C-alpha cells in the first residue's frame, strides 16, 4: 500500500470510529431512519403503482445512458431554442470556471441544494472568488454555519438533532433559539428572506432534464429552490449529463419514482424550468425578463460520467435517482452517517467517488468499508447492483497496489 493511501485509510478510520461513537449521530439517525421507513411505506401503500413504474424507469435510464451524448446535444439545442444558454463542461474545473466567468466577483449568490454542487465544491470556490454565497436549503444552511459537509444526499443534516441545531442557531443569530423545530425553521426563514431579494444570481441543480423540450425538473419541499430560481435576475443550473432523458413524459416518470422512494407521497413543490421568464401579453410579442430571471445558464457536467457510461459494469451507477433510500438501509451508514463517504456517500457513493469525485484512491477506504450485504439493492427503485461493483473495485485497487508495490 502506498504511503498516501495508508494515510487516507488512517484518517478515514479515525473519523469513522469517532462517528460511530457520537451520541448526536446515533440519536439523529435513529429518529431519521424510523421516519424514513414509516413515510416510504405509507407512500408506496398509497401509490402502489410506483413499484412497477420504477421498473419502467430502470429501462428508461438504461436506454438513455446508451445515447447520453445524443441526449446532451438535443437538450442543449432545446434549451437554447427556449432562449437559455448552455455549456458542456468535460471536467469539474471547467464547470467551475464557466460558473465563475458568468458570476464574476463581489456578487450575492443564493444556492439551492445540489449534489453536483457538492461534487464540485462550488460554494467554496465562488466564495474564494470574492462572492457572498448562501446555502438556502435548511440542512445545507445549517452545515454551512458549522463548516461541515452533507451526511445524506436528501437530508444533509440528518446527523444533527434539534438540540444541537438550537445551539448553532442561537450562536449565529445572536438570540435564543429553543430546541423546537418550528422555531428553528422560522429563524432561518426570517434570515433568508432578504437574501433571496438581494441576490444577483441563483444556482440550482436539477433532478431530471427532458431533452425534447429542455425542461428541467427540480423536486423540493421547502420552497427555497423555487425562490432561488425565480427571484434573482440570473439563474444558473449545474447538472450532470446522466440526468437527461428523452421526453418530458419520461422526466415525469423519473421524478415521481424519485420523490416516492425519497419518502414523500408528493413533494411540496415540483419546479419545471425551460428558459428565462417571458411574457407575450403585449401584442403577443414574446419578451424575455418578466417577473423572473432575465437569463438562464445551464452547465451540463461530465466530469467522469462518460467514462462511467463506457464501462459495461459501472454504467449502472448512472441510473441512480438520488432518492437516498439506500443509505437509510445501509448498516454502516446507520452507525456513521456520511462519514462513510467522500462527497458521494455510502456504497453507491464509493462508485461515484472512484469515477467522478475523488478517484480510486479516495474511493478505496469506502470500497473496503461496504459490507456488500445487498440491503441497498433491495431498497433501490432501479435495482443498482452495488455489491458487484464494489467487488470489482476491490480487485482493481488490489491490482494497482500490487503494481505500486
**Element spanning 220, H or E:** strand 216-220
DSSP annotation string for 80-132: HHTT-EEEEESSHHHHHHHHHHHH-SS-EEEE---HHHHHHTHHHHHHHTT-E
Quick one: pLDDT band at residue 2, thresholds 50, 70, 90?
A: low
Q: Give per-residue pLDDT as tens, 163-215.
A: 999 999 999 999 999 999 999 999 999 999 999 999 999 999 999 999 999 99
pTM of the model: 0.95
Task: Report whether 289 contacts 362 (CB < 8 A).
Answer: no
CA atoms lying within 13 Å on the CB side of residue 132: 8
Q: What is the DSSP string of 226-293?
A: HHHHHSSSEEEEEEEGGGEESSHHHHHHHHHHHHHHTT-SS-SEEEEE-SS-EE-TTTT--EE-SSS-
**Are residues 301 and 238 in contact, defined by beta-carbon separation less than 8 angstroms?**
yes
Residue with the bigger pLDDT between 227 and 338: it is: 227
The region that residue 322 occupies, defined by phi over 0 for left and psi between -120 and 50 for alpha, beta otherwise, is left
Computed on alpha carbons and rounded to an integer, the radius of gyration of the chain in Å comes to 21
Average pLDDT, the chain: 94
Residues counted in the chain: 405
* Residue-level pLDDT at 128: 98
**pLDDT on residue 405:** 63
| DSSP result, 274-311 | -SS-EE-TTTT--EE-SSS-SEEEEEEE-TTHHHHHTS
Distance, in Å, from the CA atom of 320 to the CA atom of 65, rounded to the nearest integer, reads 11
Q: Is the pLDDT of residue 30 over 70?
A: yes
Q: Is the pLDDT of residue 228 over 70?
A: yes
pLDDT at 29: 85
Indicate whether 1 pLDDT > 60.
Answer: no
Q: Kindly report which listed range (128-137, 143-152, 276-285, 362-371) carries the lowest average pLDDT score.
A: 143-152
pLDDT in tens, 241-274: 999 999 999 999 999 999 999 999 999 999 999 9
Apex 220 CA angle, 156 and 45, nearest 5: 95
Other residues' Cβ atoms within 10 Å of the Cβ of residue 394: 16
Do residues 96 and 117 make contact, with C-beta atoms less than 8 angstroms apart?
A: no
Specify the residue for cell string 463542461.
89
d(CA 75, CA 85): 11
Amino acid at each position: 500500500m502506498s504511503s498516501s493511501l495508508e494515510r487516507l485509510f488512517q484518517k478515514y478510520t479515525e473519523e469513522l470510529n469517532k462517528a460511530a461513537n457520537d451520541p448526536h449521530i446515533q440519536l439523529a439517525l435513529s429518529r431519521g431512519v424510523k421516519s424514513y421507513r414509516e413515510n416510504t411505506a405509507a407512500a408506496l401503500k398509497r401509490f402502489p403503482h410506483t413499484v412497477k413504474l420504477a421498473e419502467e424507469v430502470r429501462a428508461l435510464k438504461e436506454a438513455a445512458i446508451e445515447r447520453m451524448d445524443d441526449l446532451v446535444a438535443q437538450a442543449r439545442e432545446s434549451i437554447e431554442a427556449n432562449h437559455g444558454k448552455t455549456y458542456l463542461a468535460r471536467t469539474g474545473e471547467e464547470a467551475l470556471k464557466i460558473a465563475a466567468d458568468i458570476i464574476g466577483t463581489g456578487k450575492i449568490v443564493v444556492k439551492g441544494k445540489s449534489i453536483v454542487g457538492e461534487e464540485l465544491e462550488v460554494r467554496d470556490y465562488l466564495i474564494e472568488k470574492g462572492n457572498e454565497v448562501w446555502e438556502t436549503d435548511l440542512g445545507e444552511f445549517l452545515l454551512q454555519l458549522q463548516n461541515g459537509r452533507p451526511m445524506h444526499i436528501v437530508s444533509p443534516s440528518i446527523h444533527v438533532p434539534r438540540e444541537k441545531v438550537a445551539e448553532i442557531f442561537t450562536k449565529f443569530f445572536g438570540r435564543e433559539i429553543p430546541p423546537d423545530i418550528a422555531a428553528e425553521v422560522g429563524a432561518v426563514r426570517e434570515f433568508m428572506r432578504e437574501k433571496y431579494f438581494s441576490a444577483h444570481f441563483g444556482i440550482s441543480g436539477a433532478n431530471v432534464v427532458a431533452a425534447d423540450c429542455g425542461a428541467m425538473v427540480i423536486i423540493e419541499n421547502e420552497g427555497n429552490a423555487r425562490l432561488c430560481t425565480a427571484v434573482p435576475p440570473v439563474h444558473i443550473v449545474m447538472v450532470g449529463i446522466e440526468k437527461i432523458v428523452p421526453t418530458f413524459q419520461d422526466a415525469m416518470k423519473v421524478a415521481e419514482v424519485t420523490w416516492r422512494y425519497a419518502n414523500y407521497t408528493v413533494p411540496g413543490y415540483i419546479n419545471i424550468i425551460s428558459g428565462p421568464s417571458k411574457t407575450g401579453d403585449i401584442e403577443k410579442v414574446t419578451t424575455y425578463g418578466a417577473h423572473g430571471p432575465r437569463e438562464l445558464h445551464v452547465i451540463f457536467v461530465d466530469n467522469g460520467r462518460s467514462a462511467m457510461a463506457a464501462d459495461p459494469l459501472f454504467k449502472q451507477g448512472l441510473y441512480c435517482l438520488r432518492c437516498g433510500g439506500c443509505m437509510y438501509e445501509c448498516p454502516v451508514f446507520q452507525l456513521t452517517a456520511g462519514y462513510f463517504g467522500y462527497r458521494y456517500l455510502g456504497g453507491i457513493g464509493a462508485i461515484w467517488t472512484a469515477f467522478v469525485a475523488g478517484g480510486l484512491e479516495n474511493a478505496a477506504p469506502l470500497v473496503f468499508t461496504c459490507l456488500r450485504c445487498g440491503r441497498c439493492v433491495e431498497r433501490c427503485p432501479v435495482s443498482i447492483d452495488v455489491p458487484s461493483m464494489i467487488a470489482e473495485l476491490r480487485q482493481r485497487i488490489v491490482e494497482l497496489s500490487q503494481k505500486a508495490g
